[in-house]
Each structure stands twice: as C-alpha cells, then as structure tokens.
Amino acid sequence: MLPLNSEIEFYEKTCDKCLQQKHYRLYLHRVAYETIRAMKIYAHAHKAPVRVFRIGRKRFWMRLKRDMLVLKDALSQEKQETKDMLVTYKRYTKKQASREELNEANKQFADLLKGLSLGVFAVLPFAPITIPLVVKLGKMVGVDVLPSSFNNLSEMKRKRSSRLAKNEK
C-alpha cells in the first residue's frame, strides 16, 4: 500500500525539521523506514517469478540426478556383462565354454564395440549434437547403435522415478 500525498508531505516536513534541528538519527530512521517499505513492495511484486525460477531449477537438478542414476545403473550392468564376457572367453580358451555361452559373449563383444564407436563421437566437436543425430539416423536405417544396456533407458527411468516417489512418501 503506497502512502497518500498527505503522508508523504508529513514525512518530508518531519525529515526537514529533523535536519534543521540536527536530529540525524531520526532522519536516518525515517529514510530506513521508507527504504524497507519500498523493498517490501518490490519483493511482493517479484516474489512469484523468483519462486517459479527456484522450482524450475530444483526440478532440473532432480531430473539430472535421476538421469545420472539411471546412467550409472546402465553402465554398471554393461560392466558386469563385460566381465562375464571375459570369463566366458577365458573358459573358451580352455575348451570349457558351451556354444550358448559363446554366443552371449559374442553379443556382448558387439555391444562393447558399439560403445567404443560412440566414444569416438564423444571426442569429436559438437558431441551433444552428433551423438543423438547418429542414434536417430541408426534407428531410421534399422541399425542398433546403442549397446543393449542402453536400449531400455526409458523403462529404467520410469522404474527409478516410481521407486523415488514411493521412498518420498
């Protein structure tokens, strides 16, 4: 609520009197009061956009954390499958692996090569643009560019978010 003209005149007269009588302390008190009042009006008018900005920023960081956890799960799955592949190849050199195990190991080796090929694109300039473009073009042509553990990332995101929602309740 802004002061009326009469209130403004009263404050100005009071401040002038304070200055004439060298009551600087009272004058400073009045100036501080007016400054605080103006700041409250400003804060009230701009509170909503700041709140929206803060909520958006918090949502962004929560989404980023969730995506990083999903990526961590996919990478840990890929790591475990690669270890199993190496064990299978080691057993194959000793003639102890079956044909099915060898087929699974070969599929994992193909996944490993897919991941390495994406690593090449990550080194190139404009990687945030080129990698999604390569993945999209691969889907259009019918070539699976991503390793198998990354194919179901959207499903893993849904599971992770539902687990987090249950934990928050």
Cβ atoms of 139 and 149 closer than 8 Å: no
Q: Is the pTM of this model over 0.75?
A: no
* Tokens 């080796």 -> residue: 109
Q: Give pLDDT tens digits for 3-41.
A: 445 555 555 565 555 555 555 555 555 656 666 666 666
Q: At 93, which amino acid appears?
A: T
Q: Please give the average per-residue pLDDT across 144-162, as a whole number.
A: 74
What percent of the chain is predicted at pLDDT more than 70? Answer: 64
Q: Give pLDDT tens digits for 98-137.
A: 999 999 999 999 989 988 888 888 888 888 888 888 888 8
Q: Which is nearest to 131 in space by CA: 150, 110, 146, 109?
A: 146
CA distances (Å), origin 45, targets 17, 115, 122, 153:
33, 51, 45, 43
pLDDT category, 45, cuts 50, 70, 90? low
Q: Please give the average per-residue pLDDT across 138-161, as a whole number.
A: 77
Q: Give pLDDT tens digits for 50-77.
A: 777 788 889 999 988 888 888 888 888 8
